[in-house]
Every structure is written in structure tokens, then in C-alpha cells.
Amino acid sequence: MVDFEYKKKYNIYDLERLIALLRSENGCPWDREQTHESIRRNFLEEAYEAVEAIDNKDTENLLEELGDVLTQIVFHSRIEEEKGAFNLDDVADAVCKKLIYRHPHVFGAAKVEGSEAVLVNWEELKRREKNQSTTASAMDSVARSLPALWRAEKIQNKAKKVGFDWPEISGALDKLCEEVDELREAIASGEGVEEELGDLLFAVVNVARFTDTDPEEALHSACDKFTRRFKYVESEAERMGRELSEMTLEEMDRLYTKAKEL
């Protein structure tokens, strides 16, 4: 048995101690074996599950999922503490200093007019803090681990800040059509398909940005819509006593068209 005090209510310091015990010689073999890399995906999954709880307005589940995210933060901090690099207090210290530095209108003498000015200041202070002397270096700093549509949006917004952008949405739409044509040519020739498909997706994000549409949310909505309509196709086929695998594409498409009318 490990030396751990059982309580009616625990706090973050108890969580820190619990993770340390799980990583100890008398703890859990699985927890001891983990590295930053081995639990990297867990971190991402827990964050997405917390976001889903927010989307579903599920407060009870959000409480649990935030705990799972916090566990990941404490776990990664513990791995570094064992190496003598930093601990959870160092993480808290660093983020407190960053928040104070990036809010000079609260903790300093800076004046701002509204939240938009706050965001402009935040980006400028962030560039100074990270020694990003060029827009390209700021683009390089956008995490590759982000969903690709969000990464594209962030990169495009950085280009916009220095004026590298169409003055209106018509330019973005023309570019979208141009990329469709180039993708057709690539498919016909059998060369450069991945590159042209990437360019097309990047152009789609540009249009989304001009319409203040979150491209990730738009694609999720499209997935939900397609799934909902396909359920109708499947249920109608079943009602007709047919298997989808036995139906022609034209027959399924007629049912799908009906689903669009519902």
C-alpha cells in the first residue's frame, strides 16, 4: 500500500501527489512507463472530449472532462519534474507571468478601446515575446498539431495583418474556382493531385474566413448532415426490403435527394 491520505474532497495538490505516487516505484507499472510521446494522443483526445461537453452544454460531463485534461497537464509536468527540468508550480508561474505581460491594459498603463484592440495588442506582445521579427516566423510558430483547417485559418490571418489578402470575398471565390480547375488537370494527368487538393482546401478556408465561418465547424455540420441523410437512405431501403449493396447508385441517389427535401 502506498502512503496516501484518503479525503472527502481533494484539491489540485492532491492530484499532483497522486500522479507522483502512480509514477513511483510502488505505483502503477503502466503509469511509470509513459512518456510525453506515448500519452500525446491522450492529451488531444481529452481536450476534444472537453470541447464536446461544452458543445453539448453538458456541465456534469464538462467537470469530468476538465479533470481528465488537468490530469494530462499534471502528468506531463511530473515527467519533467523527474528529469529535474520543471514542475507544476513552474508551469503555473510561467503562465501567470505571460498573462500579466499580455494584459498591460489591466496590469500596466496601456489603454485599449474594446476587445478587438486587446487582441491586436496580444498578438503584438506575443511576437515580441517569442522574437518573431517577421510574419513568416509567426506563421512557422503556428502548431502543426492543430487541425489543418484551423492551422490554415491562423496562417491566413497572419498574412492578412500585413495586407497580404484580397480586398473582398470575390477574390477568394475566384481563387477557389481556379484551384478546382487545377485539381481537375492534376487528376487528368495523374500528377500533383495531393498538392492541388491541398491548395483547394486552403482556398476553401480563405472563403470561410471572409464569411466569418469556422471551417472546422462547417465541415462537422456537413458530416452530420450527410450522416442524417444517409440514415434516411438506409431506412428507406430497408422499408423497401432492399439491401444498399444491391441497389444502383441512381436508386440510392434518388432516396438521398428525397432526404434533402425533408
Domain positions in the chain: 12-101, 217-261
Residue 190 pLDDT > 80, yes or no? yes
Cα–Cα nearest to 49, from 66, 31, 24, 72: 66
Note the CATH number of domain 12-101.
1.10.287.1080
Average pLDDT along the chain: 94
Average pLDDT over residues 156-181: 96
| Unique residue bearing C-alpha cell 488537370 | 185
Residue 65 pLDDT > 70, yes or no? yes
Q: pLDDT value at position 125?
A: 82
Q: Measured on CA atoms in the order 62, 63, 66, 68, is the torsion positive or negative?
A: negative
- The grid coordinates of residue 13 equal 495538490
In order of 44, 211, 227, the CA distances from 138 in angstroms are: 23, 24, 38
Nearby residues of 17 by Cβ (< 8 Å), 6 or more positions away: 4
Q: pLDDT value at position 118?
A: 83
Residue 163 pLDDT > 90, yes or no? yes
Average pLDDT over residues 70-98: 97
Angle at the Cα of 193 (from 196 to 41), degrees rounded to 5?
Answer: 85
Q: Measured on CA atoms in the order 78, 97, 141, 105, is the torsion positive or negative?
A: positive
Q: How far apart are CA 82 and CA 18, in angstroms?
A: 14
Q: pLDDT value at position 120?
A: 78
Q: pLDDT value at position 236?
A: 96
Q: Based on the number of CB atoms within 10 Å of its own CB, is 59 exposed (0-12), middle (13-18) or buried (19 or more)?
A: exposed
- In the chain, the percentage of residues whose pLDDT exceeds 90 is 81
Cβ–Cβ contacts within 10 Å for residue 162, how many?
10
Cα–Cα nearest to 172, from 142, 145, 202: 202
Average pLDDT over residues 205-213: 97
In order of 162, 237, 240, 257, the CA distances from 246 in angstroms are: 56, 10, 12, 19
Q: How far apart are CA 10 and CA 86, in angstroms?
A: 23
pLDDT digits (tens, 9 = 90+) for 230-247: 999 999 999 999 999 999
Average pLDDT over residues 83-93: 97
Q: How confident is the model at residue 1 (pLDDT cuts 50, 70, 90)?
A: low
Q: Based on the number of CB atoms within 10 Å of its own CB, is 19 exposed (0-12), middle (13-18) or buried (19 or more)?
A: buried
Q: pLDDT value at position 74?
A: 98
Q: pTM (2 decimals)? A: 0.73
Helix, strand or coil for residue 242? coil
